[in-house]
Structures are given as C-alpha cells and as structure tokens.
Chain A
Amino acid sequence: MTDTILLETAERLFSDTITPQVLAAAERGDYPHAAWNALAEAGLHLGLLPEEAGGFGVAPADALALLRIAGRHALPLPLAETMLAGWLLAGAGIAVPEGALTITAAPGLTLTRDGGSWHLAGTAPGVAWGRDAAAVAVLTTFEGQPYVALLSGGYTIAERLNIAREPRNTLTIDAVPDAVAPSAVTALQLRAAGAATRALMIAGALERITEMTTQYALDRTQFGRPIGRFQAVQHSLATLAAQTAAALAAGDIAAEAVADGVQIPAIAAAKARASEAAGIGAGLAHQIHGAIGFTYEHSLHYFTKRLHAWRDEYGGEAEWNERLGRHLAAAGADALWPTLTAI
C-alpha cells in the first residue's frame, strides 16, 4: 500500500464507522468492536511492523500519519497503543498477538526472575485502553537493562477515564508474563514515541475543528450576516488555522523523528508545540461556536475534549519544553543555531 491509498482507506473507514452515535456510546463505556474489526481487517494497526512480523512494508512515518486521520475522527480505539505495542514487541523479537494492545512503562513495576521463570508485579497508572486491550506490552528493566514483557493476563483493571471519557486505567499487576525479552527501546524513547502519536492525533483533531468552525462561521447568522463576516471572528479563525498549521507540521516532525530512531529533541519540540496549539485551538473553536458548541448534542466536544486529553498524555508542554530547553542550553550559546538545525 502506498501512503495516500493507506490514508484514504483510513479516512473512508473512519468516516463510515465513527459516527456521533458511536462516539457517544464509547463515552458511556461501549467499546466500538465493529469499528475495531473493520480497522483490523484493513490491517491499519500493523503499519509499524516489519514485514516478517506481519507488517506490509509501509514507511513508518507514513504508517504513523494514520494517527492524524484517527485524530480527525476522534477515533475511540487504541490504534496508537496497538501500533506502539507491536513496534515494541517486534523490536524485541516477541511475536505480536492479535487484537487491540496497549503499552506501559510505569516506573512502579518490577520484573524478577526465579530460575527460568519470570515474574512482573506492581502498579501502572493511566494505561490507555487497559480495559479493552487483549494484551499489554510492558517496558521495564531487569538488572538495569530495558526489557519488554508481554502480558495477556495476571492484572486487575481499575476504571478510570480521561477528560474525553476514554479509558486510562490503573493496572495492578501480579503476573507471569507470556514472554520476556531485552529491548533496544528505553522508557524515555517509549514515552517520546507515545508523545509523537499524540502530536499527530492533535494535528488531525485541530484540522477537523478548523473545518467545522469555518463552516459554522459561514452558516451562523447574527446581526443580519454570517458571523464569519465580522473581522473579530475572522481573526479568531485565522489564528485557529495558524495553530492548526503549526500542529500539522509538528505532527509530521514527530512521525519522521520516530521513524528516524525516536529522536528525542525533535519529538519534544513537536509534542510541546502541538499541545500548545491544542489548547489555543480548542478555545477558539468553542468561542466561535457560541453556546451551541457547549452542548452535548453538537459534535465539537468530542474533538475538543480529546485535544485537552491528548495535550497532557505522554507529557504536556511543561515536560517537553523543559527537555528541549535543557538540550538547547547544554549545547551552549554559540551552538544554539546548529543544535536547532540538527533537530
């Protein structure tokens, strides 16, 4: 599959399966199995896997671009986590199980070994879609080295939702993993890869709300003319569009940085910038929509709530700006420009 066909397939598939009814049901706790099955049948979750592990040989940056399409549809499914889990497991030579997957690199987990048998225990908060995933890829350490453990059971799940009412569960683990192997991926890299997925999802959601808001400004009439004719509204829309453009660029940077071996400074810049755009953009979209956008009935909130959730997940601006700032400062004043151009 070439990238445009892949993206068009995803756009069509999500348009068909992720309706406002499905989004509302997902908020009530009904996991959209049919939509997942359609996604899985099209193989959209396999994009980051090498061909020998079941992938279909698409460039990783192109596969990650699917997450922008997911963001455009407020996709209430663990596509990002399944892709990352597959990437993590395949990278460690562990066979990737079927179905929806998730990941965690919670520091509160301990992997031990007793003779030939492994044991994993501890608590992992905020595991995305923990409630619905068939298995969890855990990145932890053993004797100071990164290890991946695959769990299909041996944990209990505490209900917890993010601001968009997507499951972000606390897992209490006491398990004999299905498989364990050393990993080349560090906890920081996994967090950064997660951050990259959110930068792309933010970009997609912003793109969508810019379209919705522009259309609304053309349609809604007050004082005898479409509100889009008022200069104040035009300026807000222009700002929304500019923030969206920045987030789309950030999403692209993030995808390329993951494909390029998970480059931390680039992802830091991308996630921080996309998260900043998410807050500004969500605010402007609501402002232009007026009270109608503050209702449950209108779809805007499915996107703006996710923008708020995603801007914090895998680290918000504070975390990633600080990391980037320290990276820039460490190189010294005279190396600032070369350091920036190397990102």
Chain B
Amino acid sequence: MSALSFPPPPVSEAAEALRAEVRAFLATELADFPAEKRAESWSGYDAGFSRKLGARGWIGMTFPTGYGGHGRTALERYVVIEELLAAGAPVVGHWIADRQSGPSILRFGSEAQKRFFIPRIVAGECFFCIGMSEPNSGSDLASVRTRATKVDGGWRINGTKLWTSQAHLSHFMILFCRTSGTPEDRQSGTSQLLVDMKATQGITIRPVNALTGEHHFNEIVFQDAFVPDDALLGEEGQGWHQVTSELAYERSGPERFLSSFILLVETLRVLGTNPSERAAIAIGRLGAHLVTLRRLSRSVAGMLQAGQNPATQAALVKDLGALLEQEIPDIARSLVAVDPPTPEIERFAQVLAYTTLHAPSFSLRGGTREILRGIIARGLGLR
C-alpha cells in the first residue's frame, strides 16, 4: 500500500439515510446552542448529550452487536461524527472511547473486558482519556518512564502523565507505561493498562490550565497506585504495537480538519449571501480544501473498515487538516475586520478569538506536525 493510495470511500446508501436523521436530531437538540459554545468543537463537554447520543445508537456504531454495539459500517459512523462536528456538538465526553479506546479493547481486550466496557461505552456512560504523554516524553513516546511493577494480584504504578485531556471527567484511562526493562529499551517492555480513574487509590489529578485559563488537560501522578491483573489490556510487553495501532483511528477522522469549522460558518454569516469577489474566492478555496480533505478522510475510514493500518495516510490527513484548521482564523480576520469592534461583529469576534487561541494545539495534539511529516517521509521510503 503506497503512501499516496487513497481508494475511493465505499458508497453507502444507509449512511446517507442516516445523515438526514442526524441532522434533524441536531437541529432540535442544539437549537439554542450558541456559536461561542459550538466553537469549542470536539472539546465541548456535556455528559447528558453524550448519553442521548448513546440512546440514539450513535456511539460505538461499528462495535459488534454481541457486545452491545450496533454493527454498522465505518462510513455510517463517519456520517454521524462529521455531522456532530459540523454542528459544533459537545462530544468530548465519549469521543476518545468511541474513537480509539473501544476499538482497542475490542481488538486486544479479554472477553471479560469486552463484556464490561463495550456496553458502557456504547451507552455514553463510560468516558476514556489517553495516558500517553509525560513531562519528558512528548513526541518521543517510546521513552516513557511511568512504570507498572508486577505485584501479587495486579500492578503497582508509579510515575507522572501529563497533558491528559479530560482526565478529570473520564471514568477510565488507557495508560501506556513500562512494565519491564528501562527507558533505554524504548518500545520493548511497554504495556497498556485500563486504569479506573474514579476508584483507584494513589492517583492525583492536578489541573493544568491551558493558555486561555480553561481546565482541559491534567497532570496525573501515580504513587503506588494498584490496579488488578485484569486491568492489563492485551499482552504484557506489546504496548508499543498496541498503542501505535490506535493512531490511525486517532489521526484520520473529521475532527482533524473541522476544529475551526464553526468559525467558517460565522464568517459566512457576517459576509452574507453575496460577498465581495475577494471573499468569494477565499471562501471557495476553503471549500475546495474541505471537500478534498473529507474525501481523503473517508477513504481512510474505508481502509480501516477493510482491516488495513493506513498509518501514513492518517498522518497525511492530519497534517493537511491542521494546516486548514489553522488557516481558517487567519482568513476569517482578513475578510471581516475586527477593529473597531462594532456590535454587529461581536459574536464573530468571540468565535474568532476562541479559534485563534486554540489553533496552536491543532498541530500538536495527536502528534506534532514535524512528527507526522517524518511518518509521511518514512511512508515515501525516505527513512
């Protein structure tokens, strides 16, 4: 599979029928949801909303019915999540569980783990966070120091995770840590553990405020935290293989190019239905990028469904997507002047400010631009 092979996404009539249903639901459900909140995109949190989606059958859509999933196609799931993002729905609660933790558990978990977690995830009642990064292990994930030591009946965990988004709102973390050897052994000797964030003793969650002052990510300190044997996900020592297989899910979805979409909507609202030539050209260009990215991203969804691991293609989607997401605030302010700040553009200005402040994170979270480009270069055979 070459780095540039993006097979056409499968056509699905069922998915298009679903689209209308999702749109109608969101139109009612989010009727009074203001643009400033929609701008939070997939960082917006509303546990009640997540539960409602669960009740509609829109979480864990691709999970097998035997475990309480809905057995639908990746493309059907894609329709739901892109509609949620385009509407700026508050989805962060269940997002990670639906996107990567659930699929990981289904792939690597024990029968008991699947029976325990999957129905809860599907109901929108079990939220996950990602315990990968540490103070000294960001891009260099293989250098993690957090260590789980085998003890009688389970594992004793010591170390610090950092930048853990929504840890304070999550029920479980998939912890990536060392279970044997030393950080110098790098990838080998790492494992994944399912850590109960509410019940485990010896975990301290400290908020780390983002530059906006918001509490979004956290520092998690493990001090002799004990988890039972059945917390081990997959095989001991296979952590690296398992964690990297999550990444194609993590990097290729529509959230990798729609984070600034609400700003584009609000820009168009100010510009009106008959914008200047300059504005029309700029909006048209953004539209061309969105249409293309959507095609690429849906193609990756198709590949994932077919059981492939399109890691390079996912990196490519995320790199192009972050460029677009970061360009949108810049283009928006070139089309709608915010100085002086008149009342007519106040809402636009708020959405612009929110998106501008968050834009730097788009090319950091989920793998930095530089790391993604290294992966693409490797896919091209350069490394």
Beyond A163-B353, A308-B356, is A290–B341 a contact (Cβ under 8 Å)?
no
How many chain A residues touch B (CB < 8 A): the figure is 41
- Report the Cα distance A304→B212, complex, angstroms: 12
> Is chain B's interface secondary structure helix, strand, loop, or mixed overall?
mixed
Q: A316–B335 Cα gap in the complex (Å)?
A: 10
Q: Would B340 and A295 count as touching, CB distance under 8 A?
A: no
Residue numbers in A under 8 Å from B341 (CB-CB): 125-126, 160, 168, 170
Inter-subunit contact B364/A290 (CB<8 Å): yes
A293 adjacent to chain B (CB < 8 Å): yes
Contact of B356 among A163, A314, A315 (CB under 8 A): A163
A319 at the interface (CB under 8 A from B): yes
Q: Give bound CA distance, A316 to B331, whole Å.
A: 12
Contact mask for chain B residues 343-383; partner A; CB cutoff 8 A; 1 contact, 0 none: 10000000001001101110111001110011000000000
Interface residues of A (CB under 8 A from B): 27, 106, 125-126, 160, 163, 168, 170, 221-224, 230, 232-233, 279, 282-283, 286-287, 290-291, 293-298, 300-301, 304-305, 308, 312-319
Q: Which of B28-76 contact A (CB under 8 A)?
A: none
Given the known A-B contacts A168-B341, A283-B360, are A318 and B335 also in contact in the complex, defined by CB atoms under 8 Å?
Answer: yes
Q: How far is the CA of A289 from the CA of B168 in the complex (A)?
A: 25
User: How many residues on the B side are at the interface (Cβ–Cβ under 8 A)?
Assistant: 42
Q: Which of B10-18, B193-201, B203-211, B306-314 is near enough to bind chain A?
A: B203-211
Would you give 13 A-B contacts (Cβ < 8 Å), ordered by A? A27-B213, A106-B340, A125-B342, A126-B341, A170-B341, A222-B138, A222-B143, A223-B139, A291-B162, A291-B364, A294-B361, A297-B208, A312-B333
Cβ-defined partner of A295 (8 Å) among B209, B359, B374: B209
Known contacts A230-B370, A294-B360, A312-B339: A222-B140 contact under CB 8 Å: yes
Instruction: Determine how close the nearest CB of chain A comes to the CB of B143; give it in whole angstroms.
Output: 8
Kindly provide the distance from the CB of A30 to the nearest chain B CB, expressed in whole angstroms: 15
| Contact of B208 with A290 in the complex, beta carbons under 8 Å | no
Q: B364 touching A318 by the CB < 8 A rule?
A: no
CB of B336 to closest CB in A, whole Å: 9
Chain A residue at minimal CB-CB distance from B358: A294
| B360 adjacent to A296 (CB under 8 Å) | no
Min distance, Cβ B277 to any Cβ of chain A, angstroms: 13
Is the Cβ of A305 less than 8 Å from the Cβ of B211? yes
Give B136's nearest chain A residue, CB to CB: A221
- The CA-CA distance from A107 to B217 in the complex, in Å, is 44
Q: Are B138 and A291 touching (Cβ within 8 A)?
A: yes
Contacts known (A287-B360, A294-B364, A316-B334); A126 close to B340, Cβ less than 8 A:
yes
Question: Which residues of B lie under 8 Å from residue A282 when comparing CB positions?
Answer: 360
Q: B334 contacts A301, CB within 8 Å?
A: no
Interface flag for B337 (CB, 8 Å): yes
CA distance A287 to B373 in the complex (A): 14
